[in-house]
């Protein structure tokens, strides 16, 4: 008996009415992705129980549609009901039976085998790609916290059933060094472990472009296309790199469509939201948005501690808790830097044959923060990164115009010049169209406040910092 059979026909009518009502408020695509897979389980005077395909699905519905669901329940049932989600048994069973399948991995089908046997030499590249996955980047080594929980659960759901969730494509975005590549590769590892015959391709969009150009040069465009079209799971890192590369975007668009139409899974990372990707064709952006977009934020204090502790455990080194705490307090925005600090502390202590102490940690952190402050990056590099980002010309920046983007770009340049190169307010003002030092001070305050209060804006600034880092080398 299916779960629906357990409900009386009156209840089923109500369920249909509820779905119909929901459609008035929710765009068709979202409705199809999130509500059609739900099933009613039971209802009484207080509680409506609903089955969802997996935990992520139910959490997503609760998080994004709680209010509208509540409203429609009241309309249809005539009162407020508590909603309880359960996870669909059949999916759970599939997963556990697949997990417990003993013995050798499934043999490739005849088509798969003959495909592989007939591959031209370049096609083995597919396997090489897989070996590029970093063995440390797995779900087990990924520390979950409020800042990345949603991204982690979505990645896990996709890795468990690539191509079989509503999250296709899955796009993970967030600032630099926050774990996007780690998660992307964890998906690849997990999907491969579950089914070793799955063709997993991990590629950075930069590599995709280089391969594409090489293929054009060598007249091997068809082979290039075939490599990617064989993927069951395509993992593309740092998609922002495709900005303003029309030819590569075109190629990627075809690859994307081909895989998508055949139900293959695509996962993409980016340092900003799809809408912020300037110079990426609208049709690609809308493809990206047709699945699920999740973000990763900088870790909070507790998560930073947990990440540091995990690294210490993995490297099998004992670190006094006060040292971990000290590092977590001082390095706040980037997990890569957090790890870098720990590595340096270990290195110092082993070279100097001393214990890891708080004083040693203080010295290392001081060096790191000091280097960051005094790094010599010219205002020209900062200016060019900001004006590229906001699409503002040098004349506009130097002029007196008060157009919103121009004024914002000017203020951001002032803020970043102060932060990165430590220049005096006066010098910055002079370099930016002979402005007074109080104007620069005001700009630094305004931008600093906006970064603290507005996460989207903080990410914008982070993306610009990243670009400056890349240019400065
Ligand atoms: N939640 C986490 N748990 C454990 N390690 C993490 C976590 N987040 C990030 N890291 C580690 O931090 C380092 C940087 O992460 P990663 O390279 O994935 O960042 P990214 O977001 O892809 O950065 P970029 O945009 O600069 O490429 C990696 O060594 C990764 O293992």
Contact 70, 80 (CB under 8 A): yes
Each residue's pLDDT tens digit, 327-347:
988 887 789 889 888 888 888
Q: Taking residues 278-301, what's their average pLDDT? A: 90
- 350 C-alpha to center of ligand 1: Å? 25
Least confident among 152-161, 252-261, 319-328, 459-468 = 459-468
Residue nearest to atom 5 of ligand 1 (CA): 142
- 296 C-alpha to center of ligand 1: Å? 10
Q: Taking residues 439-445, what's their average pLDDT? A: 88
Per-residue tokens: 289: 């948005």
Instruction: Return the pLDDT at 366.
Output: 79
Pocket of ligand 1 (CB under 6 A): 137, 141-143, 148, 174, 176-182, 238, 271, 307, 310, 335-336, 339
- 315 C-alpha to center of ligand 1: Å? 17
Q: CA–CA separation, 365 vs 273, rounded Å?
A: 32
Residue nearest to atom 13 of ligand 1 (CA): 336
The pTM (predicted TM-score) of the whole model is: 0.61
Residue nearest to atom 18 of ligand 1 (CA): 179
Q: Give the right CATH number for 130-296 from 3.40.50.720, 3.30.429.10, 3.40.50.300, 3.40.50.1820.
A: 3.40.50.300
Class for the domain spanning 3-112: alpha beta
Q: How far is CA 131 from its chain centroid? A: 22
CATH 3.30.300.180 residue ranges of the chain are 3-112
ipTM, interface predicted TM-score of the complex: 0.99
Q: Taking residues 30-53, what's their average pLDDT? A: 82
Among 184, 186, 336, which is best to mutate for testing ligand 1, by the most ligand atoms less than 8 A from CB?
Answer: 336
- 226 C-alpha to center of ligand 1: Å? 31
- 147 C-alpha to center of ligand 1: Å? 13
Q: Which residues of 145-158 are buried (b: 16+ CB within 10 A; e: fewer)?
A: bebbebbbbbbbbb
pLDDT top residue among 265 and 88: 265
> What's the CATH number for 301-374?
1.10.8.60
CATH 3.40.50.300 residue ranges of the chain are 130-296
pLDDT top residue among 469 and 299: 299
pLDDT classification of 96: cutoffs 50, 70, 90: very low
Q: Taking residues 392-416, what's their average pLDDT? A: 88
CATH 1.10.1750.10 residue ranges of the chain are 379-472
Contact 231, 199 (CB under 8 A): yes
CATH 1.10.8.60 residue ranges of the chain are 301-374
Q: Taking residues 60-85, what's their average pLDDT? A: 88
- 181 C-alpha to center of ligand 1: Å? 6
Q: Taking CA 64 as the corner, what is the angle to CA 61 and CA 68, rounded to the nearest 5 degrees?
A: 90
> What's the CATH number for 379-472?
1.10.1750.10
């Amino acid at each position: 008996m299916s779960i629906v059979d357990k409900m009386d026909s009156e209840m089923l009518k109500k369920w249909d009415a509820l779905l119909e009502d929901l459609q008035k408020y929710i765009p068709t695509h979202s409705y199809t992705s999130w509500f059609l897979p739900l099933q009613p389980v039971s209802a009484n005077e207080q509680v409506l129980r609903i089955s969802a395909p997996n935990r992520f699905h139910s959490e997503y519905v609760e998080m994004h549609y709680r209010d509208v669901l509540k409203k429609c329940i009241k309309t249809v049932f005539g009162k407020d009901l508590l909603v309880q989600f359960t996870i669909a048994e059949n999916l759970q069973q599939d997963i556990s039976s697949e997990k417990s399948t003993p013995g050798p991995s499934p043999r490739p089908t005849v088509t798969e085998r003959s495909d592989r046997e007939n591959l031209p030499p370049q096609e083995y590249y597919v396997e090489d790609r897989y070996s590029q996955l970093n063995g440390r980047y797995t779900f087990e080594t990924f520390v979950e916290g409020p800042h990345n929980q949603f991204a982690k659960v979505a990645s896990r759901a996709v890795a468990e059933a690539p191509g079989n969730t509503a999250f296709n494509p899955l796009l993970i975005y967030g600032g630099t060094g926050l774990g996007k590549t780690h998660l992307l590769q964890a998906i690849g590892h997990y999907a491969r472990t579950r089914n070793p015959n799955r063709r997993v391709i991990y590629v950075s969009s930069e590599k995709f472009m280089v391969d594409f150009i090489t293929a054009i040069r060598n007249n091997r465009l068809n082979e290039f296309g075939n490599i990617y079209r064989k993927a069951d799971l395509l993992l593309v890192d740092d998609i922002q790199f495709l900005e303003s590369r029309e030819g590569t975007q075109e190629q990627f668009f075809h690859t994307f469509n081909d895989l998508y139409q055949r139900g293959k899974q695509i996962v993409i990372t980016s340092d900003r939201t799809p809408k912020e990707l300037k110079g990426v064709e609208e049709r690609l952006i809308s493809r990206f948005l047709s699945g699920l977009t999740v973000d990763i934020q900088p870790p909070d204090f507790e998560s930073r501690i947990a990440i540091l502790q995990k690294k210490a455990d993995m490297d099998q080194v004992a670190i006094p808790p006060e040292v971990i705490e000290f590092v977590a307090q001082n390095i706040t925005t980037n997990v890569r830097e957090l790890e870098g600090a720990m590595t340096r502390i270990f290195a110092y202590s082993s070279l100097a044959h001393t214990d890891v102490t708080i004083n040693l940690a203080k010295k290392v952190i001081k060096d790191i923060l000091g280097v960051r402050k005094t790094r010599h990056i010219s205002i020209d590099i900062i200016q060019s990164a900001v004006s590229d980002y906001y699409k503002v010309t040098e004349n506009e920046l130097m002029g007196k115009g008060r157009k919103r983007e121009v004024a914002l770009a000017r203020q951001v340049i002032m803020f970043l010049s102060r932060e990165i190169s430590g220049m005096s307010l006066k010098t910055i003002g002079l370099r930016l169209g002979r402005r007074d030092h109080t104007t620069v001070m005001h700009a630094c305050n305004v931008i600093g406040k906006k970064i603290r209060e507005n996460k989207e804006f903080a990410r914008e600034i982070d993306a610009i910092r990243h670009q400056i880092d890349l240019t400065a080398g």
